[in-house]
Amino acid sequence: MKHANDNVPILISLNDVCKLTSLSRTMINRLRSEGRFPAAADLGERRMAFVRAEVIQWIESKIAARARLSQKAA
């Protein structure tokens, strides 16, 4: 059974992003400013969130890159 909100993106806080990636807030913000991390959604004054699926995709791309590097070294 599908629910009406199944396709709604799940937003997570910067603190949750830090937990998922094991990176500091400073590093996340640096990567964002360099365009190397998913953009945050502005939710209002002093509040932002990230799309969880985009952060997970970023993590998966890092894992895939690791696998490609280890294949080249072999």
Per-position pLDDT tens, the chain of length 74? 566 667 889 999 999 999 999 999 999 999 999 999 999 999 999 999 999 999 999 999 999 998 777 777 66
Considering the domain boundaries, does residue 1 fall inside one?
no
Residue with the two structure tokens 């080249």 = 72
Residue range 8-25, pLDDT digits in tens: 899 999 999 999 999 999
Considering the domain boundaries, does residue 35 fall inside one?
yes
Q: Distance between terminal CA atoms of the chain?
A: 47
Domain residues for 29?
11-73
CA-CA-CA-CA torsion sign (13, 15, 33, 69)? negative
- Maximum pairwise Cα distance, the chain: 50
Considering the domain boundaries, does residue 6 fall inside one?
no
Q: How many domains does the chain have?
A: 1
Considering the domain boundaries, does residue 49 fall inside one?
yes
> Strand 47-51 relative to strand 41-44: parallel, antiparallel, unpaired?
antiparallel
Q: Distance between CA 25 and CA 21 in Å, rounded?
A: 10
Considering the domain boundaries, does residue 17 fall inside one?
yes
Considering the domain boundaries, does residue 4 fall inside one?
no
Considering the domain boundaries, does residue 3 fall inside one?
no
Residues 71, 73, 74: CA angle, nearest 5 degrees: 65
